[in-house]
Amino acid sequence: MPTVNTTEAPQQTETIALTRGVPAPEVLPGVDIAACLAAALEDDPVGVLQYGHPSGYAPLRKLLAGLYGVEDGQIFVTNGSLQLMDLLAAHLVRPGDSVLVERPSYDRAIGAYKRRGARVVGIPLQPDGIDLDRLEAEVQRQVPAFLYLIPDFQNPAGITLSLEKRRRLLDLAARYGFWVVEDVPYRLLRYEGQPVPTLRELDHPGAARVLTMSSHSKLVAPALRVGHLVGPAALVAALARLGEDTYLSPVLPTQATIYEFLRQGRLEPNVEHLKATYAPRCRAMIEAVRRHLPGVPFAPPEGGFFLGLTLPPEANTDGLLERAAAAGLLLTDGRAFFAPADAPDGAGAGERFVRLPFCALTPQQIDEGVRRLAVAVS
């Protein structure tokens, strides 16, 4: 394993990982989590430990329903967001169906939808979010099973969907009749600017087309694996049946831990602590890219985990991952984020796209990492 030192200035020989979007280890709230599980076990030992409802831990569902202003039956909680995407696609995708995603999008989501038989199509992402003209053209060719997008601080590009585009997108969804799955795991981690309403908040009453999903991996701890979806009760019931067939009931002690974390009011101070930790790292990443890769355009992220950029055509990207690794810099292959394009437009398949996660690195490591990237592509 490469050593990643998060407390001191990077040494020349230290490998720097700009690969996965992982939380900083020093902000994982182990003591709080132990206290929350202990409290849950004291209050509700049988509910936390016995076989449970396949829709998830009832008190957590009720609490989330209250936060979203929906019925308990509209909340599905499962073993993390990827499991949720897998079940959602298993339920919604029929043979021949397409699923639309932003281009680039979260690589594992693309894989999950493909494995459930979808033809996954990527719609170009612009600095203010998905290209709606291209989206409409694709929807006119074939109405998809659903559109999956990450409206806030997108993975991998760091982009936020503008308010105007959110409204137009919902008009399209209502007009053509397709589900919009908004995945908002980073939403609360805003370091700059003002929040834009969620698609759910903007959705047409009476013609609701939004399914909202999120997770506490980035807000509390990843290994708890607590992902949730808000949607119509019939859809939630169908997902629960699929979940029951697959894993009987979800893991409940970690759901009960999140329940206590929320109920005890620990989320807000934890998020404040995360923002205080991550905001300087986000700024450091923006500054490092401006310093070491001057002239390369990118949309400065206002929150989340990632800055994404597309290197200019003259950049040397041949064997980039291997050359970077040899120089002590680990990168993810940009092509993994690019689903097949909606149209031949010469944008490439992500060879020049680089995702730069910043949360688990110090500002010094970030600067050194981007410096090594600049050297590698020069």
Binding site for a second copy (CB under 8 A): 20, 22-23, 25, 28, 30-31, 33-34, 37-38, 41-42, 45-46, 48-52, 79-80, 82-83, 86, 108, 111-112, 115, 217, 221-225, 245-254, 257
Query: Is the CA virtual torsion 150, 221, 279, 321 positive or negative?
Result: negative
Query: How long is the chain?
Result: 378
Q: Cα–chain-centroid distance for residue 29? A: 21
Nearer to a second copy, 46 or 265 (CB): 46
- Closest contact distance (angstroms) between CB of 48 and a second copy is 6
129 vs 243, beta carbon nearer a second copy: 243
Q: Which is nearer to a second copy, 79 or 212 (CB)?
A: 79
* Residue closer to a second copy, measured from CB, 6 or 316: 6
Buried b (16+ CB within 10 A) or exposed e, 276-292: eebeebbbbbbebbeeb
Question: Would you say 218 or 371 has its CB closer to a second copy?
Answer: 218
Beta bridge partners of 214: 228
- Closer Cβ to a second copy, 95 or 297, answer by number: 95
Give the angle subtended at the CA of 15 by the CAs of 12 and 19, to the nearest 5°.
140
Residue (184 or 299) nearer to a second copy, CB:
184
Closest separation between CB of residue 112 and a second copy, Å?
Answer: 7
Task: Report in angstroms how near the CB of residue 29 gets to a second copy at its nearest.
Answer: 8
The least distance separating a second copy from the CB of residue 369, rounded to whole angstroms, comes to 19
Pinpoint the alpha helices (H) of the chain: 30-43, 45-49, 58-68, 81-92, 107-115, 132-141, 163-176, 199-202, 233-247, 252-263, 267-292, 320-326, 363-377
Under 8 Å between Cβ of 361 and 368: no
Structure tokens at 30: 């182990």
We find the least distance from the C-beta atom of residue 247 to a second copy, in angstroms, to be 4
- The helix/strand/coil state of 337 is helix
Min CB(5)–a second copy separation in Å: 14
Q: Tell me the closest approach of the beta carbon of residue 82 to a second copy, in angstroms.
A: 5
- CA angle (282 as vertex; 276, 285 as ends), nearest 5: 145
Query: At closest approach, how far in Å is the CB of 3 from a second copy?
Result: 14
Residue closer to a second copy by CB (options 84, 286) is 84
**Dihedral pair phi/psi, residue 37, rounded to 5°:** -65, -40
Between 22 and 233, CB nearer to a second copy: 22
Nearer to a second copy, 25 or 313 (CB): 25
Residue 280 CB, nearest approach to a second copy (Å): 21
Q: What distance in Å separates the CA atoms of residue 89 and residue 116, rounded to the nearest whole number?
A: 6
- Half-sphere CA count of 12, side-chain side, radius 13 A: 0
What count of Cα atoms within 13 Å lies in the side-chain half-sphere of residue 41? 9
| Token code pair at residue 185 | 């795991």
For the stretch 333-339, contacts whose Cβ atoms lie closer than 8 Å and that sit 24 or more positions apart, written own/partner, are 334/104, 334/156, 336/107, 336/110, 337/103, 337/104, 337/105, 337/106, 337/107, 337/110, 337/156, 338/103, 338/104, 338/122, 339/101, 339/103, 339/105, 339/110, 339/120, 339/121, 339/122
Minimum Å gap between C-beta 137 and a second copy is 31
